Structure 1
Amino acid sequence: MTSSTKANPASRARRENERGFTLVEMLVVITIIGLIMGLIGPRVLNYLSESKTKAARIQLQSFSSALDLFYLDVGRYPSTSEGLAALAQRPAGLNAWNGPYLKGGAVPKDPWNTAYVYRAPGDRGPYDIMSYGADGQEGGSGTAADIVLGTQTSARGE
């Protein structure tokens, strides 16, 4: 007899031990992973959007402190046309300016990579600073809500 007609018991045992995952086992694992992601995913996304809102509020407070320093040095807040850029670069004709009042010497964008809005005089006081939120447009709700210094409401008071 040749070796091709006889099965080697050692090689057969080795093949049985090298068995891989079945399709059913793979589907069960994929289903379990999908369920876990379905339960955890929305919470993670919610935390991310909340952290962007908190970061915007902290930045607004930083702008407020910088604006107060500008006011102490110059005797007025920047005009709307000067904007927040007056905190980073000396506006023309302001000899009392002792800035830059922002770290890095530049005005950062909001967490959604949109410029902050500055108005002077403002509807709520000597100035308004706000981010239009995730949608970058005035108004909105949820993650698209406007973030105004001290509040999270629409800039139109809605």
Structure 2
Amino acid sequence: MLSASLLRFATRRRARAAGPRTGEAGFTLVEILVVITIIGLIMGLVGPRVLNYLSESKVKAATIQIESLAGALDLYFLDNGRYPTSAQGLDALVQRPGGASAWNGPYLKGNGVPLDPWGHAYVYRSPADRAPYEITSYGADGQEGGAGLAADIKSTEIGAVKKAERR
């Protein structure tokens, strides 16, 4: 008899600990799917615009870096009376090249010549076709030519060497 009453007591206690089953808090599968669909629609409309702004900002960053490199090349010219050759490259702005006795560098801050915003090295030519030098970023694709985001960005086209052309 004692064991039967203990068994009933234990059963009632377990039922109370589990709590009532009605009115549980949570989201239904339909509610979750609706929220995911709304988030997907927002990302579909806003995402391309944000990515376009990011791509345009890389082009602007490359233009600013090319203008900065052009300024460093002008300082090199003032000290040495000439621009670095194509063989010396932009590294002449960071390390003294052979034959540059009046070199007063480094002309760039940092450890070396920066890469373009897409992670490629800038291409330097001196002399260029219609300017004393030309600095080029090949754009997003890293290859010569291209259109849109893959278009080349050249110092001669952005006006970075207008000062040098006057000399």
Measured against the shorter chain, the TM-score band is 0.7 to 0.9
Q: Deviations over 1:25-73 (max 9, x none)?
A: 1110000000011111111111111111111000000011001010110
* 1:60 alignment counterpart: 66
What's the TM-score, normalizing by structure 1?
0.85
Question: How many residues are aligned here?
Answer: 147
Higher fraction of helix: 2
Query: What pairs with 1:1-150 in structure 2 (closer than 5 Å)?
Result: 11-12=19-20, 15-149=21-155
Contact 1:70 1:76 in 2 (8 A): yes
Q: d(CA) in 2 for partners of 1:36 and 1:150? A: 41
Residue 70 of structure 2: SS of its match in structure 1? helix
Between structure 1 and structure 2, the one with the greater Rg is 2
Contact 1:89 1:105 in 2 (8 A): no
Q: CA deviation at 1:106?
A: 1.1
Q: CA deviation at 1:129?
A: 0.4
Q: d(CA) in 1 for partners of 2:121 and 2:82? A: 23
What's the TM-score, normalizing by structure 2?
0.81
> Which ranges in structure 2 are unaligned for 5 or more consecutive residues?
1-7, 159-167
RMSD: 2.1
